[in-house]
Structure 1
């Protein structure tokens, strides 16, 4: 089980300390890295659809902002 921090998005990498593969020479475990992929439900959920149709974000996000710098 993993606790995903609030505001995590697709592409966020989480590090699980000492949960990776054990080094057979030293006996120590490495870190396991997890890259998140956010997936929406396959079946339509009327409550989710209604919320998203009326929702207005407080802060506009420009996903291309960092691509041009």
Structure 2
């Protein structure tokens, strides 16, 4: 099974680690690959690459 590629883009870094810890501690940890961004430039660079996520969860700022 190929893991789902999920992109998370949030301004506040404190949201990233707890979410990743939670997901990795569940059965979904093996079913998802989460890329998290807190910098708009890095997020835009990733989204303009050849990499295509299955889902994007982003704050309006991004």
TM-score normalised by structure 1 residue count = 0.20
Of structures 1 and 2, the larger Rg is shown by: 1
**Structure of greater relative contact order (alpha carbons < 8 Å, 6+ residues apart):** 2
| Greater strand share, structure number | 2
Q: Which has the higher helix share?
A: 2
